[in-house]
Each structure stands twice: as C-alpha cells, then as structure tokens.
Amino acid sequence: MIVVRQPIKFIKQARGRKRIVPADQDSGLVESGQIPRVSRLMALAIRLERMLRSGEVADVAELSMISDVTQPRISQILGLTLLAPDIQEELLFLPRVLEGKATIHEKMLRPIVKVIDWDRQRAMWRRTTSSLVKS
C-alpha cells in the first residue's frame, strides 16, 4: 500500500460546493470572489447573438424554448449587445464581487440599451458609474 501525504485546502465555490487544491498551490492562480452576474449576462448575450447570426437557432422563440427562459427575458439579455462595444468590454471585465452584491446590475442598463446613439450611451454609462463611485 502506498500512502501519499500532502497538505490540502478546501476552496469554497458557489452553492456550497468545495474544491480541493494542494495547500502549496499559489493562491494567486485562483481568484477569489464571484464574477458579477451582469458580466455573465453580457457573455451570454454575445453567445446567443452569435447563435442567431450563424443560424444555429432560427429565432428568439427557439432560443427561449431551448434555454427554458421567456422570450421577453431573452430579448432583454440580447439587448445588451446593442450597447457600445467599449461598454460591453467594461461589463465583461468588471472586478469580481468579494462580498455582498455587485454594484452594477442589468436592470440599471436597460435605459442605456434603449438609446441608439453610442455617444449618448457612453455619457449615460459615465453618469451611472460615476454615481456608483460617489456612493
């Protein structure tokens, strides 16, 4: 019988799951905190739009059916792709949430999505994010 002894540590993950990693593993490799929900929604919106454009799915109704999400919600998520590219990039690379809830959420982006002009979107985005920094 061979016995291997190595110190380990448990890393907490979502929904109470735990992952075992070697204790000597550089903790810099595993970022703590959660990816903000709006970042995940932005990535999902890009993926769903790509599926629509490639013909992988026929329309929003089919996306709704395969994802088990209502059509209006799919439309809200897809609306994120109407944001200016630099705003999309900022959303994708928001810092991880270490505790509590994220300060930026999808509902606060809906008025910005409704605006067609990217320059006006950017101005609205700056106002939104600057008010969060002051709070």
pLDDT at 135: 53
Q: Is the pLDDT of residue 33 over 90?
A: no
For the chain, give the longest Cα–Cα distance.
Answer: 70
59: nearest Cα among 71, 68, 69: 71
pLDDT tens profile 67-117: 999 999 999 999 999 999 999 999 999 999 888 888 999 999 999 999 999
pLDDT at 5: 73
Q: Is the pLDDT of residue 3 over 80?
A: no
pLDDT-derived band at 27 (thresholds 50, 70, 90) equals low
Across residues 18-39, what is the average pLDDT?
Answer: 74
Q: At 48, is the secondary structure helix, strand, or coil?
A: helix
**CB atoms inside a 10 Å sphere around CB 45:** 22
The structure's pTM equals 0.76
Angstrom distance (rounded) from CA 45 to CA 132: 24
